[in-house]
Amino acid sequence: MLKRLLFDSKNLNVTVSRLCNQLLENHNHFQNSVIIGLQPRGIFFAQRIINEIEKQIAKKIQKGYLDTTFYRDDYKNNRKELDAKETSIPFSLDEKNVIIVDDVLFTGRTVRSAMEGIINFGRPNKIELLVLIDRKFNREIPIEATYIGKSVNTIESQKVLVNLKEQGYKNDKIWIVKTNWMNLLNNKHLLGIKNLDLSEIDLIFNTADRFKEVLTRPIKKVPSLRHITIANVFFENSTRTKLSFELAEKRLSAEILNFSSSGSSVKKGESLLDTIKNILVMKVDIMVIRHSSPGVPQFIANNVDASVVNAGDGSHEHPTQALLDAYSIKEKLGNINNKKIAIIGDIIHSRVAISNIFLLKKLGAKVMVCGPKTLIPKHISDLDIIVENNIKKALEWADVANVLRIQLERQEVKYFPSLREYSLYFGINNKLLKSINKDLIIMHPGPINRGIEISSDVADSSRSIILNQVENGVAIRMAILYLLSLNIK
């Protein structure tokens, strides 16, 4: 078990003093305000707050403590684990300003239960919440604290260990306890799939599972990154990727800056690095960058302190697209190991193809690329994949077909006679799929050139998971941004 110290006794004393000053500013010497500590650990912290305030105002504060056990909505499911404590609120709460005090705010369920319990003792004028630690991730109930000692990003398997004494505060300490250091990514950047190991990929997928559940809630937002500023820096056109990142950031409550090279100082001759540094001086924590030149995200990561996410660099890599593609396959098939994945189309210009190959090989899949010989890199078989130039043979072999767009904007010469001829020999349509008589999953990273690489009857069919990929893209990018934020000091 490994621990990271959040507070020692000195820092805790400073935090308590700050919180007390905030309370005094807002509660007029506690003329009509009361403090209620939540059992069990919140009462010790509440007493610390009360002792400090009473020293400053030289009078006693009305106080109580509340056990929420029987007000919780999961009470009946946990009867065997009940350990109810005493509740004591020896006065009416009618027209009072009530301050609920707890040590840690995590899911919000305890606080919601406390508010239900408090109503039994009167109708307060208002209810506020003071917490020592606000754990941002996995907030099930839309509750935010009024007064916060410290906000920290944690994931579910991490625990906050609070060691507060009722008297004698010299040894008070608070830690985040990690049972497994693999709850963090090994690098502060996501530049490519090559840099990820299997444990990190599993961590991203598992975290995406939790965020996908968040996206099904009526309130599709969590406060996990409300202290983080993210810049979306796109030097190249994008629809799905840019919107997906922006929505992921908004769902995490991050502050967002959007930059597009068109109409910017880049057009006036400003260098790439100067542009980036001018953006970062606005206190940006994470930069999501897309650029037409391979290696730009790595170059920026080498020259700045912020975390950098590669949203596509030329024909090099597109790691978040590969992660959402693999996540979608895993969701559909249950696992990826030994599955046969055919990547079809413009391989030579596709950063999606390269990132998919790297990731699928790491996850144990068998990978084939298929397309015209002119659109397949000469030495790609060195990556231990199969090369096929016959579309029907590729589809007969595959469990999943990931169909790529013909990237005409990257083609300086003609790689095939015409789009019509490409569609005739390598386009996927319903007639072709019926001829192989196989339950095949169809994917496409978008945008789709309908009628060229894929027909509408296939793209919109039940075998297509193209829209699932778009949906999963938000959850995967939420997971990546959240996990990278844990490395921000």
pLDDT in tens, 422-451: 888 888 999 999 999 888 999 999 888 898
Residue with the two structure tokens 């969701």:
331
Which of the pair, 359 or 176, is modelled with greater confidence? 359
pTM for this prediction:
0.67
Helices (H) and strands (E) in the chain — how many of each?
14, 17
Q: Above 60 in pLDDT, residue 418?
A: yes
Which of the pair, 448 or 326, is modelled with greater confidence? 326
Q: Cα separation of 401 and 139, whole Å?
A: 37
pLDDT in tens, 179-228: 444 467 888 999 999 889 998 999 999 889 988 988 888 888 888 888 89
pLDDT in tens, 52-74: 999 999 999 999 999 887 777 65
Return the pLDDT at 18.
Answer: 94
Beta bridge partners of 5: 175
Sheet of 386-388, strand order: 386-388, 366-370, 340-344, 400-403, 441-443
Quickly state the pLDDT bin for 1 (edges 50, 70, 90): very low
Q: Above 90 in pLDDT, residue 374?
A: no
Q: Above 60 in pLDDT, residue 264?
A: no
Q: Above 80 in pLDDT, residue 334?
A: yes
Q: Above 80 in pLDDT, residue 270?
A: no
Q: Cα separation of 31 and 361, whole Å?
A: 67
Q: Look over the chain and give the mean of its residue pLDDT values, rounded to a whole number.
A: 86
For CA atoms 463, 469, 475, 476, give the dihedral sign.
positive
Query: Measuring CA to CA, which residue among 392, 463, 466, 403 is closest to residue 432?
Result: 392
Distances (CA, A) of 334 to 196, 200, 287, 339, 368: 21, 19, 33, 10, 20
Q: Above 70 in pLDDT, residue 291?
A: yes
Distances (CA, A) of 364 to 116, 161, 257, 335, 359: 51, 39, 38, 10, 9
Across residues 92-112, what is the average pLDDT? 92
Quickly state the pLDDT bin for 471 (edges 50, 70, 90): very high
pLDDT in tens, 221-237: 888 888 899 999 998 88
Determine the 3-state secondary structure of 73 from DSSP.
Answer: coil
Question: In this prediction, what percent of the chain has a pLDDT beyond 70?
Answer: 86
- Whether 319 and 190 have beta carbons less than 8 Å apart is answered as yes
- Whether 385 and 354 have beta carbons less than 8 Å apart is answered as no
Q: Cα separation of 174 and 149, whole Å?
A: 12
Distances (CA, A) of 302 to 188, 194, 298, 487: 12, 17, 6, 17
- Residue spans of beta strands (DSSP E) within 55-189: 62-66, 97-105, 126-135, 147-152, 159-163, 173-178
- Domains in the chain and their CATH numbers? 2-181 (3.40.50.2020), 183-208+217-317 (3.40.50.1370), 320-471 (3.40.50.1370)
Query: Measuring CA to CA, which residue among 364, 355, 414 is closest to residue 190?
Result: 355
pLDDT in tens, 125-143: 999 999 998 887 666 778 8
- Whether 487 and 307 have beta carbons less than 8 Å apart is answered as yes
Determine the 3-state secondary structure of 234 from DSSP.
Answer: strand
Q: Above 90 in pLDDT, residue 120?
A: no
